Chains A and B, each alone.
Chain A
Amino acid sequence: PDSQGNKDEL
């Protein structure tokens, strides 16, 4: 899973 992608969530 691309955890960087998650960083757009609050």
Chain B
Amino acid sequence: MNIFRLTGDLSHLAAIIILLLKIWKSRSCAGISGKSQILFALVFTTRYLDLFTSFISLYNTCMKLIYIGCAYATVYLIYAKFRATYDGNHDSFRVEFLVVPVGGLSVLINHDFSPLEILWTFSIYLESVAILPQLFMISKTGEAETITTHYLFCLGLYRALYLFNWIWRFYFEGFFDMIAIVAGVVQTVLYCDFFYLYVTKVLKGKKLSLPA
């Protein structure tokens, strides 16, 4: 464990909690892409199956359970409890265009052709593009609530910090995982235009609105 990975995990946890509280407190999921949240639940489900096969540490197990629990709770709030506030018309990204290619790629390019490893690879590839429906929805509505931008900032920051974690681990442990690194770079690059808008607008107290 290193400082980049720890702050990355905490940033990820903060994002997940911010979103869950935003929906719960405001009793509304306006502006939130339910499709992205389903993809994240799928990412955690396929990545954390090793909860049943190996114990790494209490921290590792607890965080995985929290991530999975919050992900499904968020999906439940969006599609069940507060479904009346779900903006399905703007959440129109064709997720099959993500899941199918990612599924194919995870079968073609992986470290080991075993079920758990392919599912882990699938979750790594899927996570790198899982935010696209959310970013697409913001581009369609042309704006985002400020709390949603904080959620996205923490979510984007987490994988950016993981990139530093991998640099650290390569330098100090001689360890690297090309699949996780390439997917992590793609994932972080997808946030770049959002990061720019967040820093130039939201941090200056303005509302995040895109030129429609």
Contact = CB atoms under 8 A, between A and B. Distances in A.
Interface string A1-10: 1110111111
B56 interface: yes
Given A7-B50, A8-B56, A10-B12, A2 B64 contact: no
Interface residues of B, number: 23
Majority DSSP secondary structure for residues of A touching B: loop
Majority DSSP secondary structure for residues of B touching A: helix
A7 B53 CA distance: 12
A1 B60 contact: no
Contacts of A9: 5, 162, 165, 180
Contacts, number: 34
A2 B85 CA distance: 45
A1 B111 contact: yes
B80 interface: no
A1 B178 contact: yes
Interface of B: 5, 9, 12, 50, 54, 56-57, 60, 63-64, 67, 111-112, 117, 120, 162, 165, 175-180
19 contacts: A1-B176, A1-B177, A2-B177, A3-B111, A3-B112, A3-B117, A3-B177, A5-B175, A6-B177, A6-B180, A7-B54, A7-B56, A7-B120, A8-B56, A8-B60, A9-B5, A10-B9, A10-B60, A10-B64
